[in-house]
């Protein structure tokens, strides 16, 4: 199984089948390949600000996403504080995705590091 990028450039997987990335590590992954960035926060929070290129998934949009997404694509999942994204990462692993990551600290950590965001 895939997972994250360590300081020495190696990939690392957790026992759960997904990796935990810092916001900076997630940004490196997003720049190095075409990762699918998934925001699991509510629609209003997503509209106010989100990671550039992210898609917002909820109960109504998850089905179509699962039907069309490539199972070997790198996924970067985030929520508000990095708590709910643990469960979401496990869900995607259970659905057969092999390169699942989530951002430790969530969108809050992303913003604290002043990384790029988009607004609708």
Phi-psi map region of 105: left, alpha, beta (phi>0 left; psi -120 to 50 alpha): left
28: helix, coil or strand? helix
CA 13, CA 99: separation in Å to the nearest integer?
9
CA 22 from chain centre, in angstroms, equals: 11
**Cα dihedral value 21, 96, 47, 31, nearest 10:** 50
Q: Catalytic pick from 26, 54, 79, 103? A: 79
Q: Is 36 a catalytic residue?
A: no
Three-state DSSP class for residue 44: helix
Residues with a catalytic annotation lie at: 79
């Amino acid at each position: 199984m895939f997972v994250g990028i360590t300081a020495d450039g190696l990939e690392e997987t957790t026992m759960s089948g997904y990796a935990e990335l810092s916001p900076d590590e997630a940004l490196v992954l997003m720049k190095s390949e075409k990762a699918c960035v998934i925001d699991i926060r509510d629609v209003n929070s997503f509209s106010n600000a989100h990671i550039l290129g992210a898609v917002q998934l909820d109960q109504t949009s998850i089905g179509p996403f699962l039907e069309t997404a490539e199972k070997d694509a790198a996924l970067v999942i985030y929520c508000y504080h990095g708590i709910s994204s643990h469960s979401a990462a496990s869900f995607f692993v259970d659905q057969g995705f092999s390169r699942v990551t989530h951002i430790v600290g969530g969108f809050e950590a992303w913003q604290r590091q002043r990384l790029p965001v988009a607004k609708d």
